[in-house]
Structure 1
Amino acid sequence: MKIVVIGNAGQLSYELVRILGENTICLGPEDTDITKEDVLSQTLAKLSPDVIINAAAYTAVDKAETDLALCHAINATAVENLAKYCKQANAFLVHVSTDYVFNGHKGSPYLPSDPIEPQGAYGKTKADGEKALLQLLPGASCLIRTAWVYSAHGNNFVKTMLRLMTEKPQLTVIDDQIGTPTWAKGLAEVCVSAAKNKTAGVYHWTDEGVASWYDFALAIQELALEKGLLDKIIPVLPIPTSAYPTPAKRPQYSVLDKTSAREAFSSCSPTHWRKQLSSMMDELEKETNE
């Protein structure tokens, strides 16, 4: 089976290559233009993949509010282009979406079948991508929604917190947005399982458990001190969302229900986010000491 990964610079593509092997074909902006249907189709036709995993996304949530054209091109138009190619080439598409397609008002874990109502530009463009995929390729695609993704590679909340904890005398972190941190490695394992088994449908995948961004930050500091990634403790104080206004509105509660995913991807049992965070930070520690 020939698997092609779209995206070559992000956290997910990094983890996909670790699983699939160094010879995996990852298409980046220098290889093709995913926002142009004819260019993308020509590139893919030469490669003739059986399965495509789309790991490309515009994820700058606040910047998306003013950079809407590019955000829409990557998160919606490109997904439509990939779905069109897969439909005519009889290929399978694995696509990753986000908890930000939900409004955050439900108060209990979101099911894959729950109605979507994105609150910001990023979520709206991801929702448009979902709609195009499910309209064009419902039987030959796997849509996986995830949340709060981080990795030892690239920029993310974990690495930002570690940097700020060395630079600042104290930090304030939002404590009333609730979700689930997700190590990109576990997400990549599910994407590969979906690709190899051509598991069609809409699924949710995150690590286990729930947390606020404040809980997440405290765990990052505690584990980093244990592992020698930080050498001092600083105060980390909880604040409400109202005290830290951002251009984009974020869901207050976006925990995802993984019941159907646990069955569909039975070889990939989800692990508690704190344990996953510890494993990822072991990788960071190893890299730091090399």
Structure 2
Amino acid sequence: MINVLVTGADGMLGKSIQFYQTEYSKFNFYFTNKAVLDISDKEMLRAFVRMNNIAVIVNCAAYTNVEKAEFNTKNANRLNFKAVQNLAEIAKQNNCGLIHISTDYVFDGESQIPYNEEDITNPQNVYGITKLKGEQILLEINPKNTIIIRTSWLYGEYGSNFVKTISNLASEKESISVVNDQIGSPTYAKDLAKTILDIIPQINNSNVELLHYTNKGSCSWFDFATEIVKNFNLQCEVKPVSSDFYPTEAKRPKFSLLDTLKIEEKYHVEIPEWKSSLKKCIENLESSILSL
């Protein structure tokens, strides 16, 4: 049995990994949240890893509120940088594998082609800056069998996310306005979760490896919202607007498509197209509502 620690287990990705746990009988999972294990407390983390003989850590914990991060740099740094430093040092000391989740927001959005793992980073908001600092400290400490997976526009059945927000708004309103000048690819949390679990046994690298994972294809937030409304069969008009229509404290990248070729080729990952994954997610959401 491989003892796998999943941090941030109450979040969208953590719960998606929990969904699949029965399919991976060779893994013995430890799902933790802050109440059980505060990864910003280095000694607590060290004791937990040693006491439970952890072989692999999957770090799903992060400060992900992009807007609040602009005013709460201390907390964003604590989770996205300092806690990652703790994980890196303890993974190295205990010869643990480590999978850390990062973001497309480490890029500035000025590209016109999908970003690959070697492209220059230039985050434009506090969230992106703190996530990049987390990446950089991992690369500096360099524990073996460590992977950083950058992803984007994560959604799923658990927690609050864009799919649920749009479905709720579209259920209440005759029309909604959504920005059409930010381009990326939605990522279904269960697709990413399954990929993480599939690649754990394959990890064998002496230096920290950067990978990109999103669903296939590209769209704007407007396109994404339109597809959500269509799949829910809601009678709501979705209107395209520019980002100027919704001024935000945190600057968002205009273009954040990630090139996923590396993870596909090295780990033999088959990535679904974003529309098919969205349809699957909405079917699951509707089934859970019907079963209540």
Q: What TM-score do you get using the length of structure 2 for normalisation?
A: 0.94
Partner of 1:222: 230
Letter in 1 for 2:180: D
Task: Please list, as runs of the form range in 1=range in 2, the aligned pairs for 1:139-154 lying within 5 A after superposition.
Answer: 139-154=144-159
**Which of 212, 224, 242 is residue 220 of structure 2 equivalent to?**
212
- TM-superposed CA distance for 1:140, in Å, is 2.2
* Alpha carbons 2:3, 2:29 under 8 Å: kept: no
- TM-superposed CA distance for 1:138, in Å, is 5.2
Deviations 1:130-166, CA, capped at 9 Å, x for gaps: 0011111253201100000001111100000001111
* Alpha carbons 1:35, 1:77 under 8 Å: kept: yes
* Alpha carbons 1:7, 1:13 under 8 Å: kept: yes
Task: Please list, as runs of the form range in 1=range in 2, the aligned pairs for 1:167-186 lying within 5 A after superposition.
Answer: 167-186=172-191
Partner of 2:260: 258
Where 2:101 maps in the other structure, the secondary structure is strand
* Alpha carbons 2:125, 2:250 under 8 Å: kept: yes
* Alpha carbons 1:83, 1:137 under 8 Å: kept: yes
Task: Please list, as runs of the form range in 1=range in 2, the aligned pairs for 1:1-290 lying within 5 A after superposition.
Answer: 1-21=2-22, 24-137=29-142, 139-200=144-205, 201-225=209-233, 230=234, 233-266=235-268, 268-290=269-291
* Alpha carbons 2:213, 2:263 under 8 Å: kept: yes
For the aligned residue pairs, the C-alpha RMSD in angstroms reads 1.3
Distance in 2, Cα, partners of 1:26 & 1:194? 18
Letter in 2 for 1:273: W
Distance in 2, Cα, partners of 1:150 & 1:195? 22
Q: Which has the larger displacement, 57-66 or 195-204?
A: 195-204
Distance in 2, Cα, partners of 1:198 & 1:265? 9
Where 1:39 maps in the other structure, the secondary structure is helix
- TM-superposed CA distance for 1:124, in Å, is 0.5
Where 1:56 maps in the other structure, the secondary structure is coil
Distance in 1, Cα, partners of 2:22 & 2:96? 21
- TM-superposed CA distance for 1:197, in Å, is 1.7
Distance in 1, Cα, partners of 2:37 & 2:49? 9
Distance in 2, Cα, partners of 1:223 & 1:13? 25
Distance in 2, Cα, partners of 1:32 & 1:234? 43
Distance in 1, Cα, partners of 2:144 & 2:137? 13
Structure 1, unaligned stretches of length 5 or more?
Answer: none
* Alpha carbons 1:65, 1:122 under 8 Å: kept: yes
Number of aligned residues: 283
> Structure 1: which 4+ aligned runs deviate by more than 4 Å?
none
Distance in 2, Cα, partners of 1:199 & 1:224? 42
- TM-superposed CA distance for 1:20, in Å, is 2.2
Distance in 2, Cα, partners of 1:212 & 1:138? 37
Where 1:33 maps in the other structure, the secondary structure is coil
Q: What TM-score do you get using the length of structure 1 for normalisation?
A: 0.95
- TM-superposed CA distance for 1:199, in Å, is 4.9
* Alpha carbons 1:53, 1:195 under 8 Å: kept: no
Deviations 1:103-125, CA, capped at 9 Å, x for gaps: 00011100001111100000001
- TM-superposed CA distance for 1:3, in Å, is 1.0
Where 1:191 maps in the other structure, the secondary structure is helix
Identity of aligned residues (%): 37
Deviations 1:175-226, CA, capped at 9 Å, x for gaps: 000000010011111211232222541110000000000000000000110x
